[in-house]
Every structure is written in structure tokens, then in C-alpha cells.
């Protein structure tokens, strides 16, 4: 009983509106989509007016397009504006500074940079806490309550390994969590992680799918006894079916996927119906658009984000680099929000054949899962338009004859692709501690 008051107190000390805001957004999840959309559009109109008056980039953009802030009243009106890319932000950095920035409390942030140069951005203090509040509400779809024990197995993008030892301890105690690094997953590390999990006995585990999968495979292979959580939450990477199956089997609980992007402010969480990910509307507007920037009610497209509360650096129609599949179905859980069937991965995960066809990189990952046993880890790299290199970390069960199956299936996509397999001892993680499955070097 002591954990919840301490958890709330720790947050209230930094943001006095924390608990009242949390209770409000928990209530809002049951509103109809029409009600949620009206609230979004109210915040959108305010943000557009603020950006036009205070941010030089948007003032010039609207004038060049012969638009006024009053022309953007509804979510559908966002189509009148161009897509905002990271390149545009970098090239116009000074023009994105609000005139009243000196009066704001904000943090300087940067994206992970797994697809190139990290993007620097500013995050308003209030918006940062709203992100945390929505995270806690999203965990609540799996049954989480404030103060429940949770263990993280992840890296820098989930704030693991980024604090001093003293600050880390304070953070863990007040929030009733333990953080384990995905950067360090040797045999010795995983034995230590098991000791932590068995002694701490968390109700929930959260982490990167690749890290959790790797750890669960180790548990299976070594017949390790481990205390079982109530649920597992995954985020930051694509949760593939075989990963979900292995993690579920080892921990004997439901897996709840999630999607979040701090720079764009968008997030979505899976509920117990497992019909897709509920798109949050409290902090941002998420659009799924086609190649021309037009909004889709259903289907696959680019995820575009418009922040509604980050006045320190408004990002309007920001290209996240991610792709999603939106559906029109309503969830049986009773929540009114729209659903993402799945997050497909990053748009840069697209590989190009010598014939000019686009092939999503996850095509290779499904092949590896189905036809290549005895592979502990793998990475697919497009070195040239006609050369695909696949790095493999294998164990004793691996049979090299399986590689012929992969070559045959890939040939159906392109006769001109040359596949080269490299056997390695380990595959390097990104700076955030993630395992990047697909890399295209064509645009470097």
C-alpha cells in the first residue's frame, strides 16, 4: 500500500498536476472517438495559432501558402500543410525557436539516430510529464496500477543506463522499478538478471522485443526457473509473432505491445482484446498518410505526428519515419480511440531490388524465423542494390543446408539479388541498446 503514495509523491514533487491529470486521462479513455476528436481539434487550433504568432518557420510557411491559422480547424485540414521532415528542421533550426522560449521550462532531447544523424529537439516540461502519464494509462490496459513493481530490460530509449548510480537508485525506489540493460546480455549478465527478477518479483516486465526474446530463449535453453509476472509490455521495436510466442510461453502471461515516439508525441497501446493498438489522442494527432500526404481511414502508410502541447518546439505534420496500418474496427474493450492494427516498422526498412521493386525488410525476418533453426540472432544489410548481406549468430543446432531455402524464397522476389551470409560471434547494438534487424546502406 505504501508504494502507490510514494510513486505519486515522487511525481507530484516534480509536476504538481501529475495525479489530477492522470485521473483525468484515465477517465478520457472511455470517451467516444467523436468526443476525443473535438478535444484534439480544440488543442490543434490553439497550437496552430501559437505557432503562427511565435515560431518564425510557421509564420513564413503559412504566409507562403496564403493560409491563415483559421484555415486549420479540423484534423482533416492538416492536409493543407506539407509534411515536416527532419531535414527541414535541421536546415531551419533557428526558425523553430518560439519567440517566448526563454520563459518556458523544457529539456533538450535527441532522437536515437539509428537511421542517421540524431535529431535534436526541445520538449516542454508539461509535455514530458503528459507523456509519462499516458504511458502509465497505457500500461493500465494490461492491469498496471501506479506503484506496481516493474522491471525494464531495455536501453537508452527507455532511459536505462543513462543515470548516475545514486540517481538510478533513487529513481528505482520511488517508482518501484528495476532497470536491466540490453547493452549487456552475456551469460553472466543474464544470470544476474534472473536473480534480480526472482528477488524483486515484479508484476510487470517491459522492454525491447529483441532483448526480451533473447533472454527468454536463454531461459528455455538452460531450463531456468523464474518467477512469473502478470504481464509483459514491449515497445521501441517491431514485435514479431515468433517473439510474442516465445516471450508468452516463457513468462506464461499475456504480451501487450506499445508504440511511442517522444519527438512526435504519438503513442498507442494494446489492450486485453488484442485487436490492435489504441491510438492516444490526449497529447498529439496521429495521421496515417499515403505517398501524397493524404490521410487514410484504413490501410498502410506513413505515421505523421502533430504535437498538441509541446510549445517549446511545435512539430506540425512531422514525418516520424515509421509506418503503420490503421483500421476502422471498434475494439470490444469499450475504448473509443482508433486502432493501429500494427506498426509495420520504419520506412527506411524498405529494401530495393535491382528491378526497382520495393520490398519491406521484415520479409527477410519472417523467412529467418520460419526456415532457419539454430540461429540466435541475425541482421539483414543491403550493401548495394544487388547485394544483401545477412549476418548470423548460430548455435550447435544450425544446419547450413537451410540457407538454400532462404535463397530460393528470396529469388521469388528478385533473381538479381546476391545473398551473402556472414557468421559472426555477435551483432552490435545501436547506441540505444537495440538490435537493428534491417539496415539499408543505399542512401549513405
Give the C-alpha distances (Å, rounded to integers) separating 119 from 83, 240, 263, 304: 16, 27, 9, 16
Give dist(CA 95, CA 104) in Å, integer: 17
| Helical packing angle, 209-222 and 187-200, nearest 10° | 90
Model confidence at 155: pLDDT above 80: no
Look at residue 168 in the predicted model and tell me its pLDDT. Answer: 75
Asked if 273 contacts 338 with a C-beta cutoff of 8 angstroms, the reply is no
Model confidence at 163: pLDDT above 60: no
Model confidence at 440: pLDDT above 50: yes
The rounded percent of the chain whose pLDDT value lies above 90 is 65
Helix (H) / strand (E) containing 339? strand 339-346
| Helical packing angle, 3-14 and 18-28, nearest 10° | 110
Could you give the residue range(s) of every CATH 3.30.300.30 domain in the chain? 353-440
Alpha helices in 297-401 (DSSP H): 362-371
- pLDDT one-digit tens code per residue, 312-326: 999 999 999 889 999
Model confidence at 336: pLDDT above 80: yes
Model confidence at 443: pLDDT above 70: no
Least confident of 27-31, 36-40, 179-183: 179-183
Phi, psi of 363, deg, nearest 5:
-55, -45
**Alpha-carbon 416 to chain mean position:** 34
Length of the chain: 444
28 Cβ contact list (under 8 Å, min separation 6): 36, 39, 282
- DSSP structural state of residue 83: P
- What is the overall mean pLDDT for the chain? 90
Could you give the residue range(s) of every CATH 3.40.50.12780 domain in the chain? 1-348
The x, y and z cell numbers of residue 333, run together, are 474493450
Model confidence at 145: pLDDT above 80: yes
Phi, psi of 324, deg, nearest 5:
-135, 165
Phi, psi of 231, deg, nearest 5:
-160, 160
| Residue 338 binned pLDDT confidence (cut-offs 50, 70, 90) | very high
Q: Can you name the CATH fold of 353-440? A: GMP Synthetase; Chain A, domain 3 (3.30.300)
Look at residue 137 in the predicted model and tell me its pLDDT. Answer: 98
Overall average pLDDT of the 139-156 stretch: 91
| Residue 114 binned pLDDT confidence (cut-offs 50, 70, 90) | very low
Look at residue 273 in the predicted model and tell me its pLDDT. Answer: 97
3-state class (DSSP) for residue 108: strand
Asked if 199 contacts 226 with a C-beta cutoff of 8 angstroms, the reply is no
| Residue 157 binned pLDDT confidence (cut-offs 50, 70, 90) | low
Overall average pLDDT of the 165-169 stretch: 73
Overall average pLDDT of the 330-356 stretch: 85
Model confidence at 74: pLDDT above 70: yes
- pLDDT one-digit tens code per residue, 281-295: 999 999 999 989 999
Give dist(CA 129, CA 14) in Å, integer: 9
Overall average pLDDT of the 113-137 stretch: 85
Least confident of 100-114, 118-132, 359-373: 359-373
Give dist(CA 233, CA 205) in Å, integer: 6
Look at residue 201 in the predicted model and tell me its pLDDT. Answer: 96
- pLDDT one-digit tens code per residue, 381-412: 999 999 999 999 888 888 888 888 888 888 88
- pLDDT one-digit tens code per residue, 239-280: 888 889 999 999 999 999 999 998 889 999 999 999 999 999
Nearest to 80 by CA among 287, 272, 279, 270: 287
Q: Can you name the CATH fold of 1-348? A: Rossmann fold (3.40.50)
Amino acid at each position: 500500500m505504501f508504494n502507490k503514495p510514494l510513486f505519486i509523491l515522487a511525481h507530484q514533487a516534480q509536476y504538481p498536476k501529475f495525479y489530477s491529470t492522470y485521473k483525468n486521462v484515465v477517465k478520457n479513455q472511455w470517451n467516444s472517438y467523436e468526443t476525443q476528436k473535438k478535444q484534439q481539434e480544440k488543442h490543434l487550433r490553439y497550437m496552430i495559432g501559437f505557432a503562427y504568432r511565435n515560431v518564425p518557420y510557421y509564420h513564413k510557411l503559412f504566409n507562403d501558402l496564403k493560409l491563415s491559422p483559421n484555415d486549420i480547424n479540423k484534423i482533416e485540414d492538416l492536409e493543407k500543410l506539407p509534411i515536416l521532415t527532419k531535414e527541414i528542421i535541421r536546415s531551419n533550426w533557428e526558425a523553430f525557436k518560439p519567440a517566448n522560449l526563454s520563459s518556458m521550462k523544457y529539456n533538450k532531447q535527441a532522437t536515437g539516430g539509428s537511421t542517421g544523424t540524431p535529431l535534436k529537439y526541445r520538449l516542454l516540461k508539461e509535455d514530458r510529464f503528459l507523456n509519462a502519464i499516458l504511458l502509465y494509462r497505457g500500461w493500465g490496459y494490461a492491469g498496471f496500477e501506479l506503484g506496481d513493481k516493474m522491471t525494464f530490460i531495455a536501453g537508452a530509449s527507455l532511459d536505462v543506463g543513462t543515470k548516475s548510480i545514486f540517481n538510478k537508485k533513487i529513481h528505482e525506489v520511488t517508482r518501484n522499478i528495476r532497470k536491466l540493460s540490453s547493452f549487456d546480455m552475456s551469460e553472466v549478465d543474464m544470470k544476474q538478471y534472473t536473480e534480480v527478477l526472482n528477488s524483486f518479483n515484479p508484476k510487470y516486465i517491459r522492454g525491447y522485443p529483441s532483448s526480451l526474446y533473447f533472454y527468454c530463449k536463454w531461459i528455455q535453453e538452460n531450463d531456468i526457473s523464474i518467477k512469473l509476472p502478470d504481464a509483459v509490455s514491449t515497445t521501441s521495436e517491431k514485435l514479431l509473432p515468433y517473439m510474442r510466442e516465445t516471450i508468452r510461453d516463457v513468462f506464461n502471461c499475456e504480451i501487450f505491445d506499445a508504440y511511442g515516439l517522444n519527438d512526435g508525441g504519438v503513442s498507442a497501446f494494446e489492450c486485453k482484446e488484442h485487436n490492435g493498438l489504441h491510438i492516444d489522442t490526449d497529447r498529439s494527432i496521429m495521421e496515417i498518410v499515403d505517398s501524397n500526404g493524404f490521410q487514410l481511414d484504413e490501410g498502410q502508410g506513413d505515421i505523421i505526428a502533430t504535437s498538441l502541447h509541446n510549445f517549446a518546439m511545435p512539430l506540425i505534420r512531422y514525418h516520424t519515419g515509421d509506418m503503420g496500418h490503421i483500421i476502422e474496427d471498434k475494439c470490444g474493450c469499450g475504448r473509443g480511440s482508433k486502432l493501429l492494427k500494427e506498426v509495420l516498422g520504419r520506412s527506411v526498412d524498405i529494401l530495393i531490388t535491382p528491378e526497382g521493386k520495393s520490398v519491406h525488410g521484415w520479409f527477410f525476418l519472417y523467412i529467418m524465423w520460419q526456415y532457419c533453426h539454430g540461429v540466435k540472432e541475425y541482421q539483414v544489410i543491403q550493401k548495394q542494390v544487388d547485394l544483401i548481406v545477412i549476418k548470423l549468430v548460430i548455435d550447435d543446432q544450425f544446419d547450413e543446408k537451410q540457407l538454400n531455402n532462404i535463397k530460393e524464397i528470396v529469388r521469388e522476389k528478385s533473381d538479381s539479388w546476391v545473398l551473402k551470409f556472414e557468421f559472426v560471434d555477435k551483432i552490435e547494438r545501436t547506441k540505444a541498446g537495440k538490435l537493428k534487424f534491417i539496415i539499408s546502406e543505399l542512401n549513405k
